[in-house]
Amino acid sequence: MNVKNCMVKIIKPVLSVFPLGLVGLAPFFRGLIFEREMSIHHYLVAMVSLLALILLIFESFNAGAGAAHGSCQKPGSNGGKANEGQHLPVRQLAASPYFWSLAALTALYGLSFFQAINLREGFFTWLRHLDYLLSFVLVFLAAGIWEKDRPQVSFVRWSFTIFAITGTAVAAGGILTGQGIMLIDGGLIFNRLASTFLYPNSMAAYLMATLLMVIHLAVQNARPLTAGAFAGMGFITFLAILGSQSRGVWVMLPLILAIFILGQTARKKVVLFTTVIFSLAIILGNLTVTPQVQQIQPNWVAFLYTLAGCLTTGIVWGGCAIWFQKTSQLKGASNAGKKPLLQKIPAINGVVKPTLLKAGGCRRGLVTVMICASLILFAGAALIYSHPGSAREAVISGNPLLNRLMHINAADSNLQARMVYYADALKMVKDRPLLGWGGGGWNSGYPAYQSYNYISTTVHNHFLQVWVETGTLGLIMFIVPFLALSRGLLYLYRARTTRAPAPETWTVGTAALAIGMHSVIDFDLSFSSIALLLWFLLALFAYWEAQRQQLTQTSRYNRSTNGSGTIRPAVLLILFLSLASMHLAAATITLRAAAAKAQACTSAAQKGDNNRALEYIQTAGYLDRWSAQYPMAQARFLMAGIEYTQDLQAKEALANESLNLASRAVELDRYNSDNRFFYARLLLANGQLEKALTEAERARELKPWFIKTYEELNSIYINVAVQQLLRGQPEAAGDNLRRVLVVTREAVTQKDRLPPRLKSLWDRNSDLTLTPALALTAGQSAVLLGDYTGAGYFLTRACQAEDPNAKAVAQLWLGVALQKSGDLTGAELQKSACRASPEAEREYTMINQLVEW
């Protein structure tokens, strides 16, 4: 029994603190958007879940003992109520709509995995949501444990402090990266601050939520130094939001702040504080975080201004805290009917005098800090005017942040592009409305539905992303928490003056609402660090709602305390935690082991040890049965080995095995056009011409807006036509050769068929033009069809290829076209091409079998 009590005493503090670390540290690992960092989080969550499992098992035994003997009482407790207090968080969790909606969403991601178009992406997305669900449970239980064991300290207040520090660190990292003082890989994107998130808009959305917590802490804290420190954090956070140049956050922030202020009891203080930090941040933004500032690397002037702004904000708000404190004390004395001579009042003399003495000490400290801030400002001004004139102009020029904000309109290309993403997502939903396309379905399937040649791995709307991936049922489950949140905020607004924790809980709800609202226009929740913060906040809000319901349903809880109502939820939660945590850990270990084998395969291949490389990749494919890349890599290795094999039966066996592996890869990632093209080439090499053409056409349908698709398709058509000519099938070959010319015209005229609105959004970096590779296949087709004039046009363009072998082959075919049209220079051009490349020489042998001279 003593051992059990000792273990409980160890596990409870760990369980109450670890969830804060799991969510608070997440942004520093590239936002947990990549699989490698997220896998580490999976291990940690699984480990903490097992600790929670042990604690629940011990408390379930206590519950059983309590049912038999009255309760497992602590000294001074009153039996049944003590037992109720211990196990109430489990029953509250079981009754929470937030828990059940996230659990249902996780289950739907699991179900959608079985029909996912990319099984590997679907599987890992399911694991991500299992991580979110376990984290939600841990936060909910931690809040209950914290309240029972440390009632004098607010778990919400500690959470706010952790996230305030985290947000400030992220913001400071972004600012210092922009100023060239710190180096964060990907921390600066197109002159916009991104910090550890690698994407400016997502960093701004995360900081918008933490900013609300900083404001709450600064306003509610009565200690001048602490309040001033939080004020400085608020300045840094808002400055980073400005530097992100996220117009969506800028537009949304006033609305979020209005909602936030609406539910606060000290509204005037909140308005005053936000005015102070926002005004100073906007004034200094042009000197600290603009693109002009980033032109000077490192920019110590900007750093000094940032530091001065932080100190000034802290000093001003610290002074305000002293003033609020004195005003409150004087008002309290006045309301109590005391005389103005406070020194003669013993009750006040014992309280106010020490406070004023402390205030005097604070004032001396503030004077010192003000002197330091003045020196920093003076140093910054001196550095500015010591720079050349061009540097001064770069720092004191017009504010580009405000210019960017003023250019928001309905015709903005980013807004128009996102409208197209949303329309394309709805096309995908229409085809699979019930259970969706599985996790990662948009990224794998959108090229088949896109309206023009954009590249976007996410929908830029998480509600639509969930709808695409899990269908209508998943969307409903994702909306339910926000509906429950809105209902809870409405109740909280009505009770904000009667319930002590109302301002804290309102801040929790507003921060969660801010993240949810911004996820409507961007892919913030694709970053697991932001998704974890959202579910952390919803868990805190859910716990508060459960506590509120407890007060109104006390009699019903008391009636069920000594029955199975206490044991059954605990047993179910134990079962869930055991299965979920073990599955999460085991699956992640398996996937990471496969990735390690794939890395070893790459190293072995670089060293020339192909046999060892093949063994590694086969082991990786055995461990990770859902990934298409491992069987595809095996197929490539086997095809490369055919060249070094002399035995005809062994060659045939290798060819058949590579064909089977490529077919399996296509099944695992059904909307991957590159895999289908490779499979089509293997079918072509195996003599299955019709099937090869079918796979190639399907590959074109899956990615119709990229020139590489048409190059691959025409290459396969040309090879099929050549084999048909060699087999004595000129009519079938002619059809395929004419199809090459049709495909070429389709490619280069694809943009012309778009409406003007989409033409304006066209990505010129991936344009559909007549490339040398596409021109080569069109020229070859024209030569074989006897159109030597048309062939000359295409092959002249093909001769502009940068690759020497491709250029030599194009010159060879151009020589054939010239010779067939009566130009005597064609023969010399053919000889020159054959001398330049062995590949052109092999091509010449094949041409002699096809062309009649």
pLDDT of residue 61: 64
- Rounded to whole angstroms, how far apart are CA atoms 168 and 97? 32
Alpha helices in 495-527 (DSSP H): 502-518
Q: How far apart are CA 440 and CA 528, in angstroms?
A: 14
Amino acid 646: pLDDT: 80
What does the pLDDT look like over 718-769, one tens digit per residue?
999 999 999 999 999 999 999 999 999 999 999 999 999 999 999 888 889 9
On whether residue 30 sits in a domain, the answer given is: no
**Is residue 234 a part of any domain in this protein?**
yes
Indicate the burial class of 601 (C-beta count within 10 angstroms; 0-12, 13-18, 19 or more). Answer: buried
pLDDT at residue 473 in the model: 96
- Residue 130 lies inside a defined structural domain of this protein: no
Last residue of a domain, one of 349, 380, 398: 398
Total domains, the chain: 2
Residue 243 domain-assigned? yes
Who's near 313: CB < 8 A, 6+ residues apart?
A: 228, 231, 232, 234, 235, 276, 277, 280
Neighbours of 784 (CB within 10 A): 24
Question: 0.85 exceeded by the pTM?
Answer: yes
The Cα–Cα gap between 797 and 353 comes to 90
CATH of the domain at 814: 1.25.40
Q: Report the C-alpha gap between 247 and 556 in whole angstroms.
A: 50
What pLDDT score does 342 carry? 40
Q: Which amino acid is at 476?
A: I
3-state SS class at 118:
strand
Q: Which domain holds residue 749?
A: 706-853
Tens-place pLDDT, residues 324-340: 888 877 766 666 555 44
Which regions of the chain are under pLDDT 70? 1-4, 61-88, 148-153, 331-403, 405-407, 410, 497, 499-500, 551-566, 853
C-alpha–C-alpha distance, residues 724 and 721, integer Å: 5
pLDDT at 355: 43
791 occurs within a structural domain = yes
Peptide bond preceding 298: is omega within 30 degrees of 0, i.e. cis?
yes
Determine the Cα–Cα distance for residues 182 and 175; give it in Å rounded to an integer.
9
Predicted local distance difference test score (pLDDT) of residue 343: 46
* Ramachandran quadrant class, 30 (left: phi over 0; alpha: psi -120 to 50; beta: rest): left
Assigned domain for 495 exists: no
**Residue given tokens 């490389």 in the structure block:** 613
Query: Which of 350, 373, 398 delimits the end of a domain?
Result: 398
**Tokens, residue 10:** 């160890």
Q: Strand 188-189 vs strand 192-193: parallel, antiparallel, or unpaired?
A: antiparallel
- In sequence order, what DSSP letters do the residues of 656-671 get, joined into one string? HHHHHHHHHHHHHBTT
User: For residue 722, is it within any domain?
Assistant: yes
**pLDDT reported for residue 495:** 78
Distance of CA 835 to the CA centre of its chain: 53
Q: Is there a domain that residue 370 lies in?
A: yes
